[in-house]
Amino acid sequence: MSEQGASYRELLPHLFRLEYSKMTAVLCRHFGLKHIETAEDIASETFLKATEVWAVSGIPENPAGWLYTVAKNKTKDYLRRISLFETQIKGAIKTTDYEPGPAFEFNRQTITDSQLAMIFAVCNPANSKEAQICLALQILCGFSVEEIADAFLTKKETIKKRLLRARATLREDNFQIRALDEGIIQSRMEVVLRTLYLLFNEGYFSQSGDQLIRKDLCSEAMRLALILTESPLTNTTEANALLSLMCFQSSRLDAREDDSGETILFEHQDRSRWSTELIEKGNYYLVNACTGNELSKYHLEAGIAYWHTTPTGDNKWEHILQLYNQLILVEYSPMTALNRTFAFAKVYGHQTALKEAEKLELTNSSYYHSLLAWLYADTDIDKAIALYKKAITLTKSATEKKTLQREIDTLGKRKT
C-alpha cells in the first residue's frame, strides 16, 4: 500500500466518526425526520466518494470542507431528481416537516443548532430509555451495532431489533429539527446525558476492538457535552457535572498507555503526562455544577475524578470512598460496586476488602476476578494468578488481556 493510500485510510474513519453525525443532523434539519434514511444515504455516499477520489488524487487541503461541499452538491442533485420524477418522497416532502429553500449551508452555527436539536429528537420518550440511548449512539455518535451491544452487554440481534423499532417511532414523530423548548428539554435531558456518558465510557475503556482507549469517542462525547453547556436552554448543573467528569478523566488519557499501547495502571502513571489544562477545565465545570442544590450521579462521579487528580493526601481515599458510598445509593451498578471495593481496600486494607468483594458475586465479570486477584496478590500468589487467568477468559479486549497477562508474569517472578 502506498503512503498516500495508507494516509487516507487512516484519516477517513476519524473524519467519519466526527463529521458523519453532524452531516446527518443538518440534512435531517433540511429534509425532516421522516426522511432520516435519505439524510444518512447522502452522508454515506459522501464518504464513499471520498474513498474513491482520495485514493487517486490524495487528501485535499481541507478534508472536512471537501466532505461538506460534496454533501451539499449531492443534496442539490437529489432535490433536482425528485423535482423531475413523481415519487413517493416527492409527495411526502410537501408536508409541513419539509420547507425547501435556498438557505442550505453547512456552517458552524447550523451544525451546532442541528446537532443540539437532533440529540433531543432522537431521545424520544415514546421509545424506551434503552432504545433512545441505542438510537442516539448510532445516529448522533456513529456507533456500530456491535459497539452498542458491548456498551449494553447485550446480544447484537437484540440491539438490531431495538434500533428497528426506535427508528420507526422516530420517523413517525413530528419533532422539528429547528428549535427546542423548555418542556422538551425537561422530558428528554436525562437520556441525553446518559447517552453522552455511555459514549465517553466506551472511549475511555473500550470493550470492543483491540484499542483499550479510543480518544476520538472521548472527544466526541466532550464536544457534544460542551454544546449543551454553551446553550442557555441546556446549560444545567448536571450537564456541567458531566462535562467536568469528562475533563478530569480525559486529563489522564495520555498517561494510561505507554508507547507500545500497553495499559499503565493508575498508581504507576507518570503524572507529568496528565493534562493540567483539562484538570483546570474540570475544576471550572465542577464549580459551575455546584451552583444549585442538585446532586446527581454526575456530580458524585466528577467529585471522585477530582480527588483522583489531586496529590496523594492522608485522607484522599476516605473522601473517594464516601463519594462511592453516596453514588451506590443514587444508582447502583456492578462497576460502581467494584470501584467502591477498590477504594474500600485503600482505606481498610486488602483482607477486609476481600469480604466486601466476595459479597458481590459478579462471577461473569473480568473486572471482578482481576480485583480479587489484586486483593489476594500479597497473601496468596497462586490464587491471584488463577483469578487473573479467569479474568483473561472473560474479557474481549485484547489490550486488557495483555495487561492481565503482565500482572500474571509479575506475580510469577515474585513467586520464584
Beta-bridge partner residues of 263 = 257
Determine, yes or no, domain membership for 327: no
Tens digits of pLDDT across the chain (416 residues): 344 555 878 888 888 878 888 899 888 888 888 888 888 999 999 999 999 999 888 899 999 999 999 999 998 888 877 765 545 555 555 544 444 444 567 888 888 888 888 888 888 888 887 888 888 888 888 788 888 887 676 789 999 999 999 999 888 876 777 677 888 888 889 989 998 998 888 778 765 555 556 777 788 889 889 999 998 889 999 999 999 999 999 999 888 877 766 777 777 788 888 999 999 999 999 999 999 888 999 999 999 999 999 876 678 999 999 999 999 999 999 999 999 999 999 999 999 999 999 999 999 999 999 999 999 999 999 999 999 999 999 988 777 888 899 999 999 998 87
Together in a domain, 89 and 116: no
Determine, yes or no, domain membership for 315: no
CA distance 273 to 252: 7
Together in a domain, 111 and 95: no
- The cell 486529563 sits on which residue? 251
CA distance 205 to 217: 10
- Rounded to 10 deg, the angle between the 156-172 and 36-57 helix axes is 120
- Give the pLDDT of residue 100: 47
Together in a domain, 82 and 128: no
Determine, yes or no, domain membership for 291: no
The boundaries of the domain holding residue 391 are 338-416
Determine, yes or no, domain membership for 42: yes
Write down which residue in 49, 67, 99 finishes a domain.
Answer: 99
Determine, yes or no, domain membership for 5: yes
Closest CA to 229 of 287, 274, 174: 287
Together in a domain, 116 and 13: no
Together in a domain, 358 and 394: yes
- The cell 493540567 sits on which residue? 276
Determine, yes or no, domain membership for 25: yes
Write down which residue in 54, 83, 99 finishes a domain.
Answer: 99
Cell numbers linked to 212 = 483499550
Give this prediction's pTM: 0.80
Determine, yes or no, domain membership for 297: no
- Judged on CB neighbours under 10 Å (0-12, 13-18, 19+), 223 is middle
Give the number of domains in the chain: 3
CATH of the domain at 389: 1.25.40.10
Determine, yes or no, domain membership for 314: no
Together in a domain, 127 and 222: yes
CB atoms closer than 10 angstroms to residue 362: 16
Closest CA to 376 of 401, 355, 406, 405: 355
Together in a domain, 80 and 114: no
Q: What is the DSSP string of 160-177?
A: HHHHHHHHHHHHH----T
User: What SS3 class is residue 263?
Assistant: strand
- Give the pLDDT of residue 1: 38
Together in a domain, 123 and 87: no
Handedness of CA 124, 125, 126, 130 (dihedral sign): positive
- Rounded to 10 deg, the angle between the 398-415 and 366-376 helix axes is 20
- Rounded to 10 deg, the angle between the 334-348 and 316-330 helix axes is 150
